[in-house]
Chains A and B, each alone.
Chain A
Amino acid sequence: MAAPAPPHGVAAQAPGTRLARAREVASSVPDPELPMVTVAELGILRKVTLTDEHVEVTITPTYLGCPALHEIASDTRRRLHEAGFPDVTVQVRLAPPWTSDAITAEGRRKLAAAGIAPPRPASTGPVPLLLGRRGTVPCPRCGSPDTAQLAAFGATPCTALHRCRGCGEPFESVKDL
Chain B
Amino acid sequence: MDNDVWADNTSQHWAYGTGFTDPFQDIDLRSPAADAPQLALRCLMLGDDALIYSHRLQQWVTRLPELEEETALANVALDLLGQARLLLSRAGHVAGGDEDRLAFFRSEHEFRNVRLVERADGDFAELVARLLVFSTWRLALLDRLQSSADPALAAIAAKGVKELTYHREYAAGWVVRLGDGTAASKARMQAGLEATWPFVDELFRPDAVLADVPDPLADLAVLRSDVDAIIDTVLGTATLDRPQRPAATGVGGRTGRDGVHTEDLGPILAELQSVARAHPDGVW
Contact = CB atoms under 8 A, between A and B. Distances in A.
Nearest to A88: B8
B158 A96 contact: yes
A97 B172 contact: no
Nearest to A100: B162
B176 A153 contact: no
Given A74-B4, A95-B151, A153 B143 contact: no
B194 interface: no
Contacts of B72: 151-153
Interface in B142-183: 143, 151-152, 154-156, 158-163, 165-166, 168-170, 172-173, 176
A92 B27 contact: no
Contact of B143 (A91, A127, A131, A154): A127
B82 A65 contact: yes
A34 to B, nearest CB: 16
Report the interface size class on chain B: 35 or more
A4 to B, nearest CB: 10
Contacts of B23: 61, 92-94
Given A65-B81, A65-B83, A129-B234, A97 B169 contact: no
Interface string A46-64: 0000000000001001011
B158 to A, nearest CB: 5
Contacts of A151: 68, 71-72
Contact of A77 (B7, B80, B166, B169): B7
Contacts, number: 126
A73 interface: yes
Given A64-B85, A152-B173, A157-B78, A97 B162 contact: yes
Interface string B62-88: 000000100110111011111101100
Interface in A120-171: 126-127, 129-132, 150-155, 157, 161
Q: How large is the interface on A (under 10, 10 to 19, 20 to 34, 35 or more residues)?
A: 35 or more
Interface of A: 1, 58, 61, 63-67, 70, 73-74, 77-78, 81, 89-99, 126-127, 129-132, 150-155, 157, 161, 175, 177
25 contacts: A58-B26, A61-B23, A61-B82, A64-B163, A65-B78, A65-B83, A66-B78, A67-B78, A70-B19, A74-B4, A92-B21, A93-B23, A94-B27, A94-B156, A95-B155, A97-B162, A126-B143, A127-B165, A130-B169, A131-B233, A152-B173, A154-B71, A155-B71, A157-B75, A177-B162
Interface of B: 1, 3-5, 7-8, 16, 19-27, 68, 71-72, 74-76, 78-83, 85-86, 139, 143, 151-152, 154-156, 158-163, 165-166, 168-170, 172-173, 176, 230, 233-234, 237
